[in-house]
Amino acid sequence: MRGATFAWLSTSPAVPVRWDLGHAGWSMEHAPDAASASAALPGVLDWRAASRPRDWHALAGRGRIVAVGVDSPRERARLLDAGLGDAFSSHV
């Protein structure tokens, strides 16, 4: 049985091992920007400065997106206020 599919929302197609849901039997489709992201898929938003899509604020279905690599508690709170489903530091 194939697991769920998630969008990997990042300018980098390479998913870091700690965030790669493929290890759980799920798949991740690369979406380098909001325009190429499927609103039907839940997403993992790469918040690293060099990999963050510039148009992340235009993502549809923000409640189904979790940001990863958000090390500032204040920034995590801001992303939750912006409607993201959750935000995790890179230390989790």
Domains and CATH numbers, the chain: 5-88 (3.40.50.2300)
3 token code pair: 């697991």
Contacts by residues 21-26 (CB-CB < 8 Å, ≥ 24 positions apart):
none
**Which residues of the chain, if any, have pLDDT below 50?**
1
| Mean pLDDT computed over every residue of the chain | 94
Q: Phi and psi dihedrals of 63, rounded to 5?
A: -65, -15
Q: Tell me, what's the pLDDT at 39?
A: 87
Contacts of 6 (CB under 8 A, 6+ apart): 21, 26, 27, 28, 29, 41, 42, 43, 44
The tokens describing 25, both together, are 């039997």
Report pLDDT for 78.
Answer: 97
